Structure 1
Amino acid sequence: MENLTTAACDDDCDCTPDPALLADFKHAIHALGGKWKLEILFALMNGAMRFGALRRSIGGITQHMLTTQLRELEQDGLVLRTAFDEKPLRVEYELTDAAYGLLPAFKELLNWSRLYGGARLPQLA
């Protein structure tokens, strides 16, 4: 397996991760971390959605939690919120180019889940 954090360790080596790589990794984990963020991003992969449709597509998420997670994703530059000047107000959410950059990672996660998932991993409710 490829070691992305340091050169191969030996007895005389300090095997701590490269601080710059660790900082980048922490940023990614913060932006994507949380119970719902990956599900929200996955739901938006097929295009823009209104809030209600997005909520219905993600079973079990509350309105408050969806709002909170969308605000964080917007702040991190992964989701774009567009409010249309209509009565009643219409708001749509869509992925930014940065979020679409996650598509290869999503495909790899799906491949990993198919290969190693199943009975070996706890089933999601």
Structure 2
Amino acid sequence: MRRSDQRPEVKAPQRWRFPDPTRLWLDNGMQLMACDREGQHVAAVSLILDAPLNAEPVDVEGVATIAQRCLDEGTATHPGPSFAEALEDIGAVLGGSAGYSGSELSLEVPTDRLGEALGLLAEVV
């Protein structure tokens, strides 16, 4: 048992470098970059789409933002609330944003459910 008047020894910070990504290209031309950090329990996935806000036609400005906000409202395979429920069942969080440099879809999920989550992500892309 440590007494309250004894402080732990403070060590000098260790040098750390984020791992270099592994780069792969999918058959559809999309580039995949993966940064594997051993021991992590949550996977974070980002899809960066070449769909900037300034590419929206003037008569439908804002449609990308609306589409991003409706990502979990259902798909052909999971209509209505069943898509959001499928995400929830595996502990996944899906998000999206539209910006001037492009649109992004983000997904966070426990690593042991990544395969299932990627299947759901594919339904909305």
TM > 0.5:
no
Q: Decide which structure has greater strand share.
A: 2
The structure that has the greater radius of gyration is 2
The bucket for the TM-score relative to the shorter chain is under 0.3
Q: Decide which structure has greater helix share.
A: 1
